[in-house]
Amino acid sequence: MWFLIFVCVSTVCGVPIKNPPQNNVAAPTEFQDQIVQEGDILMPEDRNAVETLWLAGIVPYEISSELANREWEIQTALKMISDVTCIRFRKHTNEPNYIVFKNGRGCASYVGCRGGDQPIFFSPHCAVGNLGHEIIHALGLHHEHTRKDREDFISVQKQNIVPGRENNFNVREGKTLNLPYDVNSIMHYGQFFFSKNGLPTLVSKRSGEEMGQRKHLSPLDIKRLNKLYHCDK
């Protein structure tokens, strides 16, 4: 799982799968009006924009009026993270940098603090666990399946991937905080994500492992966030 190393300050900051999602994992959805990679990671128009962590692990937020009836779900997703880390979410007042929960065609987020009013999209098709996944993107973590060491733990079935979506499975540059690879991470792709034929696009090399769940933070997810935000200091 990848992470970002700067501090956020005031001056900066999918094609659906064909078989049913497993473990209440909503399939990544492409956004027509946004630049998207890996199905749910929003890309800024300025590709050189600074990516940062949230100052002191405090994340101001707003909930758009269109999601007022889903505030309980949003609060539950925030609590998934704040209950097990030192990261705190506060209703936005006058802070220059904050997240805004908005309705959308799917679930999607930028990675890290981008500055200003930063959207996290939460569609009617996304469950609480999917939203937790997107919030963790906003905190600074990338997808687990794109780590450099992933070939020791999973194999990518390229022949089953929807044409044009192969890049979603590329290995990315990044650091791992010296923590092990985690197939059970809430940040890992599900076994059938972006399948063109109902067959797996990812296969674990260890039998019986749950892959790509969106029900809870795994123990390693918790360790990663706490290490990233220096919660033990």
Q: What residues act catalytically? A: 134
Give the distance, in angstroms, between the CA of residue 47 and the centroid of all CA atoms in the same chain: 19
DSSP code of 83?
T
The answer for residues whose C-beta is within 8 angstroms of residue 111's C-beta and 6 or more apart is 4, 41, 51, 137, 138, 140, 141, 142
Taking alpha carbons only, the member of 119, 7, 98 closest to residue 90 is 98
What are 195's two structure tokens?
């399948």
Q: Are the C-beta atoms of 31 and 104 separated by less than 8 Å?
A: yes
**How many residues in total does the chain contain?**
233
User: In degrees rounded to 5, what are phi and psi of residue 123?
Assistant: -85, 165
